[in-house]
Amino acid sequence: MTIRHLKIFVTVCEEGGITQAGHKLFMAQPTVSAAISELEKQYGTKLFDRISRKLYLTDAGQKLLPYARHITSMFDEMENLAHDLEDSGTLKIGTSITIGNRLLTGLLETFAGMHPDTMVKVRIDNSEKIEQAVLNNHIDFGLIEGVAHSPVLISEAFRDDELVLVCSSKHEWAKQKSIDPYKLQQESFIMRERGSGAREILESALLLHEVEIEPAWESVSTQAIIQGVIRQHGIAVLPLLLVEEHLAKGELAAVPIEGVSLKRKFSFIYHKDKYLTPAARAFAGICMELK
């Protein structure tokens, strides 16, 4: 078994077939098939079921895949390091939408002053997808809401955050000191999509009160949610960072939910076996200094 075998195996899994993997790797289909067969012979087990000309990962294949991804990604990192020792390199960062909207620009400006020759590539998505990107080594590290769920990821909290229930300043709740959590079920709720850190924290907190919310709207866009609330299409729970300007303008009102804590942490996450370059560590240090 060689790195070549593992790279072919990973590519077949990611591309969904022998032919597609061959195209990506610039290899003939028989060569790809032979490599998979050699790998199966090496471990004495089938890695794919071949049904109606399609490949489906077996249980053994599913167990091997994360290890193969990790080994090949570390080999690629070693190759890049060996070839680019004199270069400044590239930092690949992923952030949740809240962090991307409100904190990322300042972090990048500070980092650029310290490492002007380092190129930074950024991906902004919900926390669940950023965590998956770290697991798949598509990014070097992530900045997410809450903590990572995977046991192979390390989470380092770097800033406190808070979610708030907001309604239009014209809503009947706008003047109330607090709201019973059970009353939330009587209102139209505008929520982020599943996988967002804000939604996960809200649903977990309400579950303790046996309150379940069925959203009237779901959106990946926090700005769409904010505008929907301002125009009285519903209420929402959003990060204070994203609504504080609208609260100051009087467009929205924040109402505490009785007995419900919506405080959380922002976290710097990375794979436990990931080698973090000095530049990555410097970026982490900038995050830790945030208040």
pLDDT (average), residues 121-140: 94
Q: What is the token pair recorded at 56? A: 């489906």
Same domain flag for 259 and 282: no
Same domain flag for 18 and 101: no
Same domain flag for 64 and 109: no
Answer with the one of 36, 60, 83 that is the final residue of a domain.
83
Q: For residue 164, give every residue at least 6 positions away whose Cβ sits within 8 Å of its Cβ, in sequence order, or none.
A: 237, 238, 239, 240, 243, 254, 255, 262
State the residue range of the domain holding 143.
90-159+265-288
Q: For residue 86, give every residue at least 6 positions away whose Cβ sits within 8 Å of its Cβ, in sequence order, or none.
A: none
- Asked if residue 53 has pLDDT above 80, the reply is no
Same domain flag for 153 and 276: yes
At 86 the pLDDT is 40
Alpha-carbon gap, residue 96 to 124, rounded angstroms: 6
At 85 the pLDDT is 47
pLDDT (average), residues 105-109: 95
Q: What is the token pair recorded at 280? A: 């990555």
The mean predicted confidence, pLDDT, of the chain is 90
How sure is the predictor about 234, in pLDDT bands with cuts at 50, 70 and 90? very high
Same domain flag for 205 and 248: yes
Give pLDDT tens digits for 10-52: 999 888 888 888 888 899 989 989 988 998 888 899 998 888 7
Give pLDDT tens digits for 76-99: 878 776 655 444 578 999 999 889
What is the number of domains present in the chain? 3
Same domain flag for 130 and 270: yes
CATH code where residue 109 lies? 3.40.190.10
Same domain flag for 149 and 186: no
Cα–Cα nearest to 291, from 162, 161, 197, 164: 161
Answer with the one of 83, 100, 122 that is the final residue of a domain.
83
Which residues, listed in sequence order, are joined to residue 157 by a DSSP beta bridge?
267
Same domain flag for 166 and 259: yes
Same domain flag for 133 and 172: no
Answer with the one of 83, 108, 125 that is the final residue of a domain.
83
> What is the pTM for the complete model shown?
0.65
Same domain flag for 139 and 183: no
Alpha-carbon gap, residue 210 to 221, rounded angstroms: 28
Alpha-carbon gap, residue 61 to 65, rounded angstroms: 6
Same domain flag for 269 and 150: yes
- Asked if residue 284 has pLDDT above 90, the reply is yes
